[in-house]
Amino acid sequence: MRQSGAESLLRLTDLHTFIGESHILQGVSLDVAPGRVTVLLGRNGAGKTTTLRSVLGLTPAAGGTITFDGGDITRERPHRIVRRGVGYVPEDRDVFGGLTVDENLRLAQRPGTTADGMALVHRLFPDLERRAGQRAGSLSGGQQQMVAIARALVNPNRLLVIDEPSKGLAPVVVSQVTEALAAIKGTTTILLVEQNLAMAQALGDDAVIIDNGRTVYTGPMADVTADEQLQARYLGAGHSG
């Protein structure tokens, strides 16, 4: 647990979010400390994606507060939140299949970005540099996930928000994505949703578990890894919901 707001880059306090008439988030609170990786865990349908979408302003919260670097962003529009330096890698990836890898990356660049971001992306994902002229829609699922992550990384990020990067990927590709994220860990603050416990353990410093739209656990990621009862209670056997 963080002791004061000064230690949080991102703080969610008692967040409530509706989708239509459904009261999906019913009290999500979490802190993301600067320079650390916070993993958001919870079974299928717990509200992980909705939490991230509320942070980005895509599914705005109806109650509670979201502060970023001490400023209230609860009611801020998505483009303004992104301009504060929040990179988002959505669960469904949203890669433009008809465009090339390079076009996908250039479209994602915000005005005023430098060549550093593109250089970083090519260093982390040499495969993408080789396939710069290839249509993104012709890539494997793993390569498309790398494009999705790379699109966030071409910009300087103060916070990177990533939704289940391992979803639907073969174990060998999960390892590649884990390595790439491990390489930027320490230089970028990350809020990561991940149900793959091995990946969560490899990357996570702090863990938050939500269940039925509420925060039920906050503590070190290593404690979650070691606590099978906690896993059985909130993450479910096989994490299949």
**Residues forming the site for ligand ATP (CB under 6 A):** 19-20, 22, 24, 42, 44-50, 91
Per-residue contact flags (x/-) with Mg ion for residues 76 to 105, judged by CB under 5 A: ---------------x--------------
Minimal distance, residue 14 CB to Mg ion, in Å: 21
Q: In whole angstroms, how far apart are CA 98 and each of 94, 136, 150, 193?
A: 12, 7, 17, 28
Question: β-strand 214-220 against 63-68: which pairing, if any?
Answer: unpaired
Minimal distance, residue 176 CB to ligand ATP, in Å: 22
Minimal distance, residue 184 CB to ligand ATP, in Å: 23
Comparing every residue's Cβ against Mg ion, the nearest one is 49
Query: H-helix or E-strand containing 113?
Result: none
Is the Cβ–Cβ distance between 191 and 162 less than 8 Å? yes
Binding flag, residue 51, Mg ion (CB under 5 A): no
Nearer to ligand ATP, 117 or 204 (CB): 204
Binding flag, residue 49, Mg ion (CB under 5 A): yes
Minimal distance, residue 169 CB to ligand ATP, in Å: 15
Distance CA 187, CA 112 (A): 20
Distance CA 166, CA 164 (A): 5
Following DSSP, what letter does each residue of 75-105 receive, concatenated?
A: T--HHHHHHTTEEEE-TT----TTSBHHHHH
Question: β-strand 37-41 against 63-68: which pairing, if any?
Answer: unpaired
Minimal distance, residue 231 CB to ligand ATP, in Å: 15
Nearer to ligand ATP, 50 or 215 (CB): 50
Q: Which of residues 158-197 bind Mg ion (CB under 5 A)?
A: none
Interface with Mg ion (CB under 5 A): 48-49, 91
